[in-house]
Amino acid sequence: MANFISKEKRSQIIACLCEGNGVRATARLCGVTKNTVSRLLVWIGRACSEYQDRVFRDLTCKRVQCDEIWAMCGCRDKIAGPKQKERGWGALWTWTAICPDSKLLFCWFIGTRDAGAAYHFMHDVAGRLAHRVQLTSDGHKPYLAAVESTFGSEIDFAQLVKIYGPTPNTPETRYSPAQCMGTRKAAITGNPDFRHVSTSHVERLNLSIRMGNRRFTRLTNAHSKKIENHKHAFALFAMHYNFCRIHQSLRVTPAMQAGVTDHVWELEEIISLLDCAIEKAV
Beta bridge partner(s), residue 59: 129
Q: What pLDDT is recorded for position 176?
A: 66
Architecture per CATH, 7-281? 2-Layer Sandwich (3.30)
Task: Please state the domain extents for the chain.
Answer: 7-281
Structure confidence by residue, pLDDT tens digits, 249-265: 999 999 999 999 999 99
Would you say residue 73 has pLDDT above 60? Answer: yes
Q: 0.85 exceeded by the pTM?
A: yes
CA 193, CA 134: separation in Å to the nearest integer? Answer: 8
Answer positive or negative: Cα dihedral of 213, 266, 6, 55. Answer: negative
DSSP string, 93-150: EEEEEE-TTT--EEEEEEE-SSHHHHHHHHHHHHTTBSS--EEEE-S-THHHHHHHHH
- In this structure, is the dihedral angle defined by the CA atoms of residues 132, 52, 240 and 233, taken in order, positive or negative? negative
Instruction: State phi, psi for 113 to the nearest 5 degrees.
Output: -120, 35
**In angstroms, rounded to a whole number, what is the distance separating the alpha carbons of residues 243 and 104?**
9
Q: Which of 257, 236, 233 is nearest to 246 (CA)?
A: 257
Convert the pLDDT of each residue in 111-148 to its tens digit.
999 999 999 999 999 999 999 999 999 999 999 999 99
Whether pLDDT at 1 is above 50: no
Q: 28-57 burial by CB neighbour count: b if 16+ within 10 A, else e?
A: eebebeeebbbebbbbbbbbbbebbeebbe
